[in-house]
Amino acid sequence: MNMEAITKILFISLLFLSSAFLARSGEVDDESEFSYDENAENGPANWGDIHPNEWGTCKNGTMQSPIDLLNKNVEVVSNLGILQRYYKPSKATLLNRGHDLMLRWDDGGYLKINGIQYQLKQVHWHTPSEHTINGKRFDMEGHLVHETHDGKKIAVIGFVYEIGLSPDLFLSIIEKDLRALADKKNTERHIGIIDPNLIKLDGQKYYRYNGSLTVPPCTEEVVWTIDGKVKTVTRRQMKLLRDVVHDEFETNARPIQPLNGRPIKFNKPWPFA
């Protein structure tokens, strides 16, 4: 081999290495890294193998989400109280993450559970729902994600939707911006002040259990609340959300994970009706 050929090979190897490095240090938000295709190499069963050190919990975790909220595993209680949401209107950004659509707040207030304050960070949606109730899957599920100031504790409120005739108020408000974002992957759009209180919940009837994030890195010790109200979304609104994401897959719901004997509570104000 002459000197020129060696230089060429060296150069190509260098290019290859650096692009591999860039891909590796890319954000979790990179849509190419994991998929929802159960037959794919980067599908849900293999998420833990994609980055074993960072995402290993997706595979070896024992408190993973989502789960089926099966009646026979649920203990009905009345002592968890009304959900304490202290939300406030705040500047918001819409972000197309490729695998989902997220709305992030700068300072949207907080949620209080057992005396701990979790700051509201973002809301995002999954279609169909990730959690099932007695085996029933709903058309869509929203996740309000909260974190303590130190970022160490996470609390998520999940709420499910069924397709119906009346549009969802909150999605109606951001519809114009959703349309503007369609087809632009991994882009952000500042959408002004948005009031998180416009996401209406029951807040009194809800499931509570300990689980994990439903996307890599599948971090555990997430306090889950699944609100008892089934919301309504129009087919058109749901399609808009899906179209914005424009994933190669129609769905973005992680399969049901083993309960492994975890307690599930259902809070209902006394007297039980």
Ligand X SMILES: *[C@@H]1O[C@H](CO)[C@@H](O)[C@H](O)[C@H]1NC(C)=O
Active site residues: 99
CB atoms within 10 A of CB 94: 20
Q: Which stretch binds ligand X (CB under 6 A): 56-64, 140-148, 167-175, 250-258?
A: 56-64
Min dist. Cβ of residue 60 to ligand X (A)? 4
* DSSP 8-state code for residue 167: P
Report which residue type is found at 170. F
79 binds ligand X (CB under 6 A): no
| Selection from 259, 217, 219 nearest residue 48 by Cα | 217
Whether the ω angle into residue 258 lies within 30 degrees of 0, i.e. cis, is: no
57 binds ligand X (CB under 6 A): yes
Our CB check for ligand X shows the closer of 189 and 262 to be 262
Touching ligand X, residues 101-160 (CB under 6 A)? none
Our CB check for ligand X shows the closer of 252 and 267 to be 267
Touching ligand X, residues 189-208 (CB under 6 A)? 208
Our CB check for ligand X shows the closer of 73 and 119 to be 73
> Please, what sign has the CA dihedral across residues 109, 114, 116, 121?
negative
- Is 93 within 8 Å of 188 (Cβ atoms)? yes
Our CB check for ligand X shows the closer of 146 and 208 to be 208
How far, in whole angstroms, is CA 137 from its chain's centroid? 16
Please compute Rg for the chain using Cα positions. Answer: 21
Between CA 111 and CA 50 the distance in angstroms is 33
* Residue among 29, 40, 43, 56 that touches ligand X (CB under 6 A): 56
Min dist. Cβ of residue 57 to ligand X (A)? 5
Min dist. Cβ of residue 49 to ligand X (A)? 10
Cα torsion for 84, 121, 146, 173, to the nearest 10°? 50
Min dist. Cβ of residue 223 to ligand X (A)? 7
Between CA 74 and CA 66 the distance in angstroms is 15
171 to each of 85, 131, 238, how far by Cα in Å?
20, 21, 9
Our CB check for ligand X shows the closer of 28 and 182 to be 28
Determine the Cα angle at 227 with ends 252 and 267, to 5°. Answer: 140
State the residue for tokens 């994933």: 247
Nearest position to ligand X, beta carbon = 56
34 binds ligand X (CB under 6 A): no
265 binds ligand X (CB under 6 A): yes
212 binds ligand X (CB under 6 A): no
Min dist. Cβ of residue 257 to ligand X (A)? 15
Our CB check for ligand X shows the closer of 42 and 172 to be 42
- Is 170 within 8 Å of 135 (Cβ atoms)? no
Min dist. Cβ of residue 68 to ligand X (A)? 16
* Residue among 25, 53, 72, 115 that touches ligand X (CB under 6 A): 53
Give the total of residues touching ligand X (CB under 6 A): 10
